[in-house]
Chain A
Amino acid sequence: MDKFIVNIIHRPEMVPEYSATVTGQGKQEDIGDKALLTESLDIFKTQQRLAHENGLKVTIQMTYAALFNDEAVEIAKHDHEEYGDEIALSLLGLPCEEFREKYKTKDFCIWMFSMEDKKAIVNDVFEKFYEKFGFYPESTGSYYMDADLTNYIKEKYPMVKCAVATCWEEGPKAYHTCNNSWYTLFDGGPWAPWIPSKQNTHAPAANKEEDSGIVAIPHLSRDLIACYDGNGSNFGTHPQNVLRGMIYDTKTWEYPYLYNLIDQYRDLEKYNNGYAYNMMFVGPGWMNKMGRWEQPYELLLKSYTDGCAYYGKLKKEGKLVDMTMSEFADYYREKKGVNAGNYNEPECAPWRDILYGSDKQLFWYCDPYMRACVNMDQGGAIVDLRPYAAKLEWPVGIGTKHVQDASYPFLIQEKYRAGYFTHYAGAGTVRSAKLSYKGEEVDLCLCPTHSHFSEEMIDGKKNRILTLDPVEIQFYDVTVKLQTKEYFEEGSSNIKIERNILEISNPDAEIYLDEYITACYGTTEYPEDMTGITLACEGSDPQTINYEYKCRDAKKMGATAVSAVIPAIQTKVSLTPSAEAEGYIEEGYAFSPMFKLGYKKKIEEKEVFATWLNLEKAN
């Protein structure tokens, strides 16, 4: 049976994020403000009521502060008994008088603490939870859970099986939107549930040995086009986020976008063996009686009421199953085949624009070896690539090299390192191809199209295939009709891109295809040091370039592979061809800190030429 699952999560937060600073503007900070505590609890009660009125189960994530509030504890116990809600433990909502007194800090993001403090806080909150409820929680979470934190929790409290572990593409864009003051830097993770590896939370486990022991869920289900290009906090299954984005009619207070977003997620079951997922998690600060930005309380309340009502309606129609987090963890492991030993089933998401009125289409792919984004509006170019194959160990928090930056590094990121378009000099990161003829050159990035998804067994291996609608490349006196197919073979750690030359108006024309990847590495908009990268044309008589920003290149007919080893992210990326072609490597320069790998080949009508983009760990 096809299933669309929703996790609805509430947290009784005694000092809601934003409330103390935003609505309390002009007052001295008072973390124990009794009026704030009463209001926070009222919001929690309202959220619980709205979910239950619509027949929806909730996971109640108790915050540390809530564990000191007897009424919050009693509500959780009551709703567990009455409605089957799960009582879980959040690592958000730490701030309260007790926490401040004990830890002598205003830090509140668990992943940013020192490892010593992480352990102390985990012990403290889990034991406090046990003291109040007489059992340990099976679910936990934060905006981000680093691998060391998860590993510690799992070692100390093995009953934990589910955690909110990242918020999709909440990174430099969110930081920017908040006037560079909101330090949630964790781009590069999965958008849908996954099993984090022990090495890196973002990178899914490839086998039992790498399995962290939890099922991770994202903080909200986010728009896979809008969040990639803009402020993520405007485009998710969080009704007040949609209001934050001003995506509502001010006269009618209607927001069809929220329902479009939920429905597009529902549609993803077609590409994931009959399974799709949503998560809604609205903190109490978003339903403040004082209103939030332009929105009065009445609109905030209406939006949450409508959100619950829509999920409730889907449930009544048999189109949705509501689960608690721990129930979902069990379901997920079974559904994805993990219980049978298969960790490789990918998550696939063809995604169309549902907000701006374009017909742009992306395809997101995630498995234990990579996260990739294919942009059909750019002829099927890969515009984002995270090499999970490296399973990069990347400790975060005070005392590590990355106090705040928890993002998984990219090789390609078209927003942070340009893509096809650059400002008149240098190159941007992208995996695409060019056709050339008599001095004219056309990049497939300039050939917008759409794709169709299919699943096929090829040589006994499961493949997810994108078949793009054919495009025409018009030169001065010749036209080429070309079709691209992209193959994601399960468990292979590669992407095969096939170009089918359907027609050439003049079959005698000398037309060349240049398959290439321009890449670098990083986690933000700013360049990293490329020194130490080694480029190679592999095969007999190999040629190599050690990166020194000298703008050098090398080529070799019949190269078996063209590759780059990037020690800083322990990654090797390479291209390999399906037929003999001229492999080439290009070093960048200071104004264009990139490298380029590619193959050039003369093409004929009806020819099919393929290249594989391969990712490996390189120690």
Chain B
Amino acid sequence: MAQLGKGKLNYRCPSCFMRDLDIDMFYNKDTGIYSCIRCQFRGTEEQVLAGNEDVRKKYGAMYERFTKFDFD
């Protein structure tokens, strides 16, 4: 197997992102699998993107537009 490289976009590991770690993933062009070199995450692009949506679940108000910032 040849060495790992970068995919078309520089995806981060969604599992590590959830614990506040920005870790670039590396790509196996033969298998189409992205892998994290810090944790055990392995996944296709589709799985990475699904993981990124999971990341967003903690942002419960990310689609909300606030107009009031006090509690008066």
A residues contacting B by CB (< 8 A) are: 22-23, 25-26, 173, 176-179, 230-231, 244, 246-250, 256-257, 259-260, 263-264, 267, 270, 290-296, 350-359, 361, 450-453, 469
How close is B32's CB to chain A, nearest CB, in angstroms? 17
Instruction: List 8 interface pairs A-B (beta carbons < 8 Å), by A numbering.
Output: A26-B6, A250-B52, A263-B69, A290-B10, A294-B12, A296-B9, A352-B69, A355-B59
Interface centre among B20, B52, B69 (most CB of A within 10 A): B69
| A-facing residues in B1-47 (Cβ within 8 Å) | 5-6, 9-12, 17, 20-24, 38
Q: Which residue of B lies closest to A359 (CB)?
A: B71
Whether B61 contacts A356 by the Cβ 8 Å rule is yes
How close is A79's CB to chain B, nearest CB, in angstroms? 32
Whether B21 contacts A293 by the Cβ 8 Å rule is no
B49 proximity list for chain A (CB < 8 A): 250
Whether B20 contacts A230 by the Cβ 8 Å rule is yes
How close is B51's CB to chain A, nearest CB, in angstroms? 10
How close is B54's CB to chain A, nearest CB, in angstroms? 10
B53 proximity list for chain A (CB < 8 A): 250
B21 proximity list for chain A (CB < 8 A): 176-177, 179
Contact status of A246 and B55, CB under 8 A, knowing A256-B64, A263-B66, A354-B61: yes
Distance, CA A351 to CA B66, complexed state (A): 13
Contact status of A246 and B11, CB under 8 A, knowing A256-B64, A354-B66, A452-B71: no
Whether A178 contacts B22 by the Cβ 8 Å rule is yes
Whether B52 contacts A357 by the Cβ 8 Å rule is no
Whether B9 contacts A452 by the Cβ 8 Å rule is no
How close is A483's CB to chain B, nearest CB, in angstroms? 15
B residues contacting A by CB (< 8 A) are: 5-6, 9-12, 17, 20-24, 38, 49, 52-53, 55-56, 58-67, 69-72
Instruction: Pick the residue among B9, B20, B52, B56 that contacts A231 (CB under 8 A).
Output: B20
Distance, CA A186 to CA B24, complexed state (A): 25
Whether A246 contacts B71 by the Cβ 8 Å rule is no
B60 proximity list for chain A (CB < 8 A): 355-358
A176 proximity list for chain B (CB < 8 A): 20-21
A450 proximity list for chain B (CB < 8 A): 71
Whether B58 contacts A356 by the Cβ 8 Å rule is yes
Contacts A176-B20, A231-B20, A256-B63 known; 8 new A-B pairs at CB < 8 A:
A177-B20, A177-B22, A246-B56, A247-B59, A250-B53, A293-B10, A350-B70, A354-B61
Whether A179 contacts B59 by the Cβ 8 Å rule is no
How close is B9's CB to chain A, nearest CB, in angstroms? 6
Contact status of A246 and B17, CB under 8 A, knowing A357-B61, A450-B71: yes
Contact status of A361 and B71, CB under 8 A, knowing A293-B12, A296-B9: yes
How close is A257's CB to chain B, nearest CB, in angstroms? 6
Whether B65 contacts A294 by the Cβ 8 Å rule is no
Distance, CA A25 to CA B3, complexed state (A): 13
Q: Which residue of B lies closest to A469 (CB)?
A: B71
How close is B34's CB to chain A, nearest CB, in angstroms? 11
Distance, CA A259 to CA B17, complexed state (A): 24
Distance, CA A244 to CA B24, complexed state (A): 12
A294 proximity list for chain B (CB < 8 A): 9-12, 52
B23 proximity list for chain A (CB < 8 A): 179
Whether A452 contacts B59 by the Cβ 8 Å rule is no
Contact status of A293 and B6, CB under 8 A, knowing A264-B66, A354-B69: no
Whether B61 contacts A355 by the Cβ 8 Å rule is yes
Distance, CA A176 to CA B64, complexed state (A): 29
Distance, CA A351 to CA B69, complexed state (A): 7
Distance, CA A581 to CA B20, complexed state (A): 45
Distance, CA A505 to CA B24, complexed state (A): 59
Distance, CA A295 to CA B10, complexed state (A): 8
Distance, CA A231 to CA B67, complexed state (A): 25
Whether A179 contacts B22 by the Cβ 8 Å rule is yes
How close is B63's CB to chain A, nearest CB, in angstroms? 6
Instruction: Pick the residue among A22, A256, A267 that contacts B10 (CB under 8 A).
Output: A22
B58 proximity list for chain A (CB < 8 A): 356
Distance, CA A250 to CA B63, complexed state (A): 12
Whether B71 contacts A352 by the Cβ 8 Å rule is yes
Q: Which residue of B lies closest to A264 (CB)?
A: B69
A231 proximity list for chain B (CB < 8 A): 20, 22
Contact status of A356 and B59, CB under 8 A, knowing A26-B6, A294-B52: yes
Whether A293 contacts B61 by the Cβ 8 Å rule is no
Q: Which residue of A lies closest to B12 (CB)?
A: A293
Whether B70 contacts A352 by the Cβ 8 Å rule is yes
Interface centre among B12, B23, B52, B66 (most CB of A within 10 A): B66
How close is A60's CB to chain B, nearest CB, in angstroms? 29
B10 proximity list for chain A (CB < 8 A): 22-23, 290-294
Q: Which residue of B lies closest to A242 (CB)?
A: B62
A177 proximity list for chain B (CB < 8 A): 20-22
A350 proximity list for chain B (CB < 8 A): 69-70
Distance, CA A585 to CA B66, complexed state (A): 45
